[in-house]
Chain A
Amino acid sequence: MALDKNGIAKRIAQELQDGYYVNLGIGIPTLVANYIPDGMDVTLQSENGLLGIGPFPTKDKVDPDLINAGKQTVTYVDGSAFFDSAESFAMIRGGHVDLTVLGAFEVTENGDIASWKVPGKLIKGMGGAMDLVAAAKNIIVAMRQTDRDGNSKLLKECTLPLTGVNCVKKIVTDLGFYEVKDGAFVLLERAPGVSIEDIKNATEGNLVIEGDIPEMKL
């Protein structure tokens, strides 16, 4: 069965390592914070100027001066730091953030990503997405593999305006876990109960399947 958004977040959380500094985008990526393994030291960066995001506050602890990049109220953990936006993107651009997780509309076999604009519809702006994808050492995209009409979002070329080129390294979808390598989506794992045939049918770009592909262990 295809993963729901929590399943996708759970699988991505398995990629975390002790000591990691991580930037989580809005949507499914935010859910990754719920599945950080116990005892693992992972620090969450918020590009509006916080290193050390904590859980959402209880009603009585809501503070308008303390928000995340999605403009939601948050808390901060012990050992946190606050800073301005230039400092924040120096961390990102300078390669100090170990992992970036973000959503996408489309990803290509070359690691191009489209995630910010749908022409003809509303234009909201790219926020920090272009900076993050251009600079992060390690980017995992969290997304559904097909759109509502069943069209693949793992493509040869993006149809939508790009956020960045040759930058996506790994993708976790509702159907599988992929590495983007040498112009192909290399299938590493299948979602539980999802067949190779299902995955082939939902992938438009170059798909590489080598040997037996294990199921995800969630």
Chain B
Amino acid sequence: MQKVFKNAKEAISDIKSGMSIMLGGFGLCGIPENSIDALVEADITKLTCISNNAGIDNVGLGKLLRKHQIYKMISSYVGENKEFERQLLSGELVVDLIPQGTLAERIRAGGAGIPAFFVPAGYGTEVQGDKEVREFNGKMHILEKGLRADFALVKAWKGDTKGNLIYRHTANNFNNMMAAAGIITIAEVEELVPAGELDPNCIHTPAIYVQRIFQGTDYKKQIEFETTSD
């Protein structure tokens, strides 16, 4: 089975309007830059995007927002994005805000075949809504559901031709869980190597979760808040 694709354009060619897509990254760290650019080029609309953040103006998911390609965002934090605010306030964009740990676990559970689970986060807040509530060990919990998506677009540091992935530093974040939760997972990597070159002891995402992989190009890796000690 050939998993290696030439580039992002080929890898995402069957993503269609109205589909659900998970996108890895925390802020702009570890986002699938090439796949996002290819989606912008592809003129697909009405996407449901599951991503911890929504990029910033004209960077990351901000590019898709600017072209009105997103119908719904499922995120935990969406600040630092004026176009996002504008579309949210004008009603052009539907937004589902989820506590970050619950979002991470919903994605992990989705990929792991767990349909639902109880967590304490959000109990007694507007996040609770009409969700089932149960007490365990004297503490109140709410029922949350596993989450999957038609496609997961993830970004790794290194990958091999089988689809094994290794992330670098804090650029792992949501990528690892999303790889398992995508019905089809497309991984872009900074360095694609032949199978056998990565140490199996160091793999973060085993190849079974990855259906397509390609060598990414021109990573900008923009920094949101460069903070230095000097």
A contact residues around B29 at 8 Å (CB):
48, 64-65, 67, 71
- Closest A residue to B227 by beta carbon equals A72
CA of A73 to CA of B123, assembled, Å:
33
In the complex, what's the smallest C-beta–C-beta distance from A34 to chain B, in angstroms? Answer: 11
Which of A46, A84, A134 contacts B121, CB < 8 Å?
A134
B residues lining the A interface (CB < 8 Å): 26-30, 52, 75-79, 85, 88, 97, 99-105, 107-108, 119-127, 157, 167-177, 204, 221-230
Q: Is the CB of A125 within 8 A of B78?
A: yes
A106 at the interface (CB under 8 A from B): no
CA of A163 to CA of B174, assembled, Å:
23
In the complex, what's the smallest C-beta–C-beta distance from B164 to chain A, in angstroms? Answer: 15
Task: Give 13 A-B pairs besides A93-B101, A134-B122 with Cβ atoms closer than 8 angstroms.
Answer: A58-B228, A62-B226, A65-B29, A65-B170, A66-B169, A72-B225, A76-B169, A84-B177, A93-B105, A126-B100, A127-B76, A134-B119, A164-B123
A contact residues around B119 at 8 Å (CB):
93, 131, 134
- Closest B residue to A58 by beta carbon equals B230
Q: Is the CB of B104 within 8 A of A85?
A: yes
A contact residues around B125 at 8 Å (CB):
130, 161-165
- Closest B residue to A128 by beta carbon equals B100
The interface centre, meaning the residue of B127, B168, B171, B173 with most chain A CB atoms within 10 A of its CB, is: B173
A contact residues around B28 at 8 Å (CB):
64, 71
In the complex, what's the smallest C-beta–C-beta distance from B218 to chain A, in angstroms? Answer: 14
Q: Is the CB of A49 within 8 A of B170?
A: yes
Q: Is the CB of A85 within 8 A of B99?
A: no
CA of A52 to CA of B77, assembled, Å:
23
B contact residues around A69 at 8 Å (CB):
26
CA of A130 to CA of B204, assembled, Å:
27
| Interface secondary structure of B, over-half rule | loop
Interface size counted on chain A using CB atoms at 8 A? 54
Q: Is the CB of A67 within 8 A of B88?
A: no
- Closest A residue to B142 by beta carbon equals A134
- Closest B residue to A74 by beta carbon equals B227
A contact residues around B221 at 8 Å (CB):
64-65
Q: Is the CB of A56 within 8 A of B170?
A: no
A178 at the interface (CB under 8 A from B): no
- Closest A residue to B111 by beta carbon equals A86
Q: Is the CB of B78 within 8 A of A124?
A: yes
CA of A70 to CA of B170, assembled, Å:
12
A135 at the interface (CB under 8 A from B): yes
- Closest B residue to A46 by beta carbon equals B170
A contact residues around B223 at 8 Å (CB):
62, 64, 67, 73
The interface centre, meaning the residue of A57, A85, A125 with most chain B CB atoms within 10 A of its CB, is: A85
A contact residues around B123 at 8 Å (CB):
134, 164-165
Which of A62, A76, A125 contacts B97, CB < 8 Å?
A125
A88 at the interface (CB under 8 A from B): yes
Q: A64-B29, A85-B26, A125-B77 are in contact. Are A48 and B173 (CB under 8 A)?
A: yes
Q: Is the CB of A126 within 8 A of B99?
A: yes
- Closest B residue to A135 by beta carbon equals B120
- Closest A residue to B109 by beta carbon equals A86
A contact residues around B85 at 8 Å (CB):
122
B contact residues around A89 at 8 Å (CB):
100-102, 104-105
CA of A135 to CA of B178, assembled, Å:
24
Which of A46, A58, A126, A163 contacts B77, CB < 8 Å?
A126
Which of A83, A131, A161 contacts B126, CB < 8 Å?
A161
Which of A70, A131, A165 contacts B101, CB < 8 Å?
A131
CA of A125 to CA of B173, assembled, Å:
18
B contact residues around A68 at 8 Å (CB):
170
Q: Is the CB of B122 within 8 A of A73?
A: no
A50 at the interface (CB under 8 A from B): yes
Q: Is the CB of B177 within 8 A of A85?
A: yes
